[in-house]
Amino acid sequence: MTAAPTQPASARPPKPPISWKVPAGIAAFLLVTWWAGSGRFGVGLSIPELFAGLERGQRIMEDLFDPRWQAWRGLIGPFIETLRIAILAALLGCAAAFGMAVLTSRISAPGLRSFLAGKAVLNVVRSIPDLLYAMVFVAVFSIGPLAGIVALILFNIGVVGKLTSETIDGIDTGPLEAAQAAGARHSQAVRTSVVPSVLPNFVAYSLYAFELNLRASLVVGFVGAGGIGQVLFVALNGFRYDVVSLIVICIFIVVFLVESVSIALRRRLV
- Mean pLDDT throughout 154-178? 88
Under 8 Å between Cβ of 160 and 94: yes
* pLDDT band at residue 6 using 50, 70 and 90 as cut-offs: low
Q: What is the 3-state secondary structure (H, E, C) of the chain?
A: CCCCCCCCCCCCCCCCCCCCHHHHHHHHHHHHHHHHHCCCCCCCCCHHHHHHHHHHCHHHHHHHCCCCHHHHHHHHHHHHHHHHHHHHHHHHHHHHHHHHHHHCCCCCCCCHHHHHHHHHHHHHHHHCCHHHHHHHHHHHHCCCHHHHHHHHHHHHHHHHHHHHHHHHHCCCCHHHHHHHHCCCCHHHHHHHHHHHHHHHHHHHHHHHHHHHHHHHHHHHHCCCCCCHHHHHHHHHHCCCHHHHHHHHHHHHHHHHHHHHHHHHHHHHHC
- Mean pLDDT throughout 198-207? 89
pLDDT at residue number 5 = 56
Total-model pTM: 0.74
The answer to the question of residue 12 being in a domain is no
The answer to the question of residue 64 being in a domain is no
The answer to the question of residue 134 being in a domain is yes
pLDDT at residue number 98 = 92
Under 8 Å between Cβ of 147 and 225: yes
Q: What is the tally of structural domains in the chain?
A: 1
pLDDT at residue number 153 = 92
pLDDT at residue number 64 = 75
pLDDT at residue number 217 = 83
- CA dist 216 and 76 (Å) reads 18
pLDDT at residue number 95 = 93
The answer to the question of residue 42 being in a domain is no
The answer to the question of residue 131 being in a domain is yes
Mean pLDDT of the chain: 82
- Mean pLDDT throughout 130-136? 88
* pLDDT band at residue 45 using 50, 70 and 90 as cut-offs: low
- Mean pLDDT throughout 137-164? 90
**For the segment 53-93, what is each residue's pLDDT rounded down to a tens digit?**
776 677 777 777 778 788 788 888 888 888 888 899 999 99
* CATH code: domain of residue 209: 1.10.3720.10
The answer to the question of residue 35 being in a domain is no
Domain membership of residue 141 as a residue range: 69-269
List CB contacts of 49: < 8 A, sequence separation 6 or more.
Answer: none
pLDDT at residue number 131 = 85
Give the rounded percent of residues in the chain with a pLDDT score beyond 90. 11
The answer to the question of residue 14 being in a domain is no
The answer to the question of residue 15 being in a domain is no
* pLDDT band at residue 264 using 50, 70 and 90 as cut-offs: confident
